[in-house]
Amino acid sequence: MLRRLTKDETRSVLAEGKLGRLACVDNGAPYIVPVSYVVHEDSIYIHSLFGRKIRALRENPRACFQVDDVKDDYHWHSAIAFGSYEEVTDPQERSWAVRRLLSRFPHLTPVESVPVHDGQSSVIVFRIRIEEMSGMREG
Amino acid sequence: MLRRLTKDETRSVLAEGKLGRLACVDNGAPYIVPVSYVVHEDSIYIHSLFGRKIRALRENPRACFQVDDVKDDYHWHSAIAFGSYEEVTDPQERSWAVRRLLSRFPHLTPVESVPVHDGQSSVIVFRIRIEEMSGMREG
């Protein structure tokens, strides 16, 4: 049975997922990348080296974020969030976000984490501030 | 070890995946949906009822399609394709595409398939014609 998720259920799907897909608009065309993330309050935190998605999101901050968990064709749920890109520049919030990301994703190499603490990081920490979300499930 | 996929490997990841994420641009903002699909030649075939993604893609045909297969944090591959939306209107090609989709995804209900054959279908069959693709793998 297919049904719409409640807001709380949608939030749980987003919060419990580990691999999300982030879409942005790059020169009028869509661009998707898979990302590791953590959800805190009304934001999805992600860190990244500078590249295409950061360049595109700086230009157009509209973002769409999708997470699903598919057990099989009849048992799955999916959530989608819309929001806007904000770079996290406050050193304390950056450091907090990176610690949360690394404790959730210990396979991320130290290379990605260490520079954050020396004030000369090339790692960008950003959040998607959620403005709207919805979800569906089957089974 | 992280490495870029060759074109043939990227094509295989796209062709063998079953659940892809399709992104389009809706009024200047990105929109992602998970979709079942089949790849044939240079196109990704998808069918859908009319809704937000079809409305958006009719207005801006640029599409991005992403597929991944994650065994664990150290063993995964991901492919991304860029292309443009084209509705399939030729009855023979529509019927062929729907048969391929239903044989690959037998859980799709007959409701979604039957009307295609009576010439009065509200089901939209479309393809994303791939113009560019790339992929990465680890492990």
| A24 close contact with B: CB closer than 8 A | yes
**A95 CA to chain B: closest CA distance, Å?**
23
Closest listed residue to residue B69, CA positions, set B136, B128, B1: B136
Range A2-91+105-138 classified under CATH 2.30.110.10: yes
Domain ranges for chain A: 2-91+105-138
CB nearest to A28's CB, from B19, B25, B105:
B25
pLDDT at B107 over 70: yes
The ipTM value here is 0.88
Question: Which residues on B lie below 8 Å from A57 (Cβ)?
Answer: none
**Confidence (pTM):** 0.90
A41: left (phi over 0), alpha (psi -120 to 50) or beta: left
pLDDT at B93 over 70: yes
pLDDT in the model for residue A139: 86
Kindly state which CATH superfamily the domain B2-138 is placed in.
Electron Transport, Fmn-binding Protein; Chain A (2.30.110.10)
Q: Do the beta carbons of residue B62 and residue B24 sit within 8 Å? A: yes
pLDDT at B111 over 50: no
Average of per-residue pLDDT across A96-118 = 71
| pLDDT band at B114; cut points 50, 70, 90 | very low
* pLDDT above 70: percentage of residues in chain B: 91
User: Can you tell me which residue has the tokens 């009822």?
Assistant: B49
| B129 close contact with A: CB closer than 8 A | no
| pLDDT band at A1; cut points 50, 70, 90 | confident
Closest listed residue to residue A37, CA positions, set A5, A2, A74, A81: A81
| pLDDT band at B87; cut points 50, 70, 90 | very high
pLDDT at A30 over 50: yes
- Whole-number Å distance between alpha carbons of B64 and B17: 15
Q: Do the beta carbons of residue A45 and residue A125 sit within 8 Å? A: yes
| pLDDT band at B70; cut points 50, 70, 90 | confident
**A107 CA to chain B: closest CA distance, Å?**
7
pLDDT in the model for residue B106: 84
pLDDT at A112 over 80: no
More confident: B26 or A1: B26
Question: Which residues on B lie below 8 Å from A23 (Cβ)?
Answer: 21, 23, 30-32, 64
pLDDT in the model for residue B122: 78
CB-CB under 8 Å, A34 with B78: yes
Question: Which residues on B lie below 8 Å from A4 (Cβ)?
Answer: none
Mean pLDDT of chain B: 90
Mean pLDDT of chain A: 90
* Residue in chain A nearest B19 by alpha carbon: A70
Q: Give the ranges where chain A is alpha helix by DSSP (H).
A: 7-16, 52-59, 91-104, 110-113
pLDDT in the model for residue A83: 98
| A2 close contact with B: CB closer than 8 A | no
Over the Cα atoms of chain B, what is R_g?
A: 15
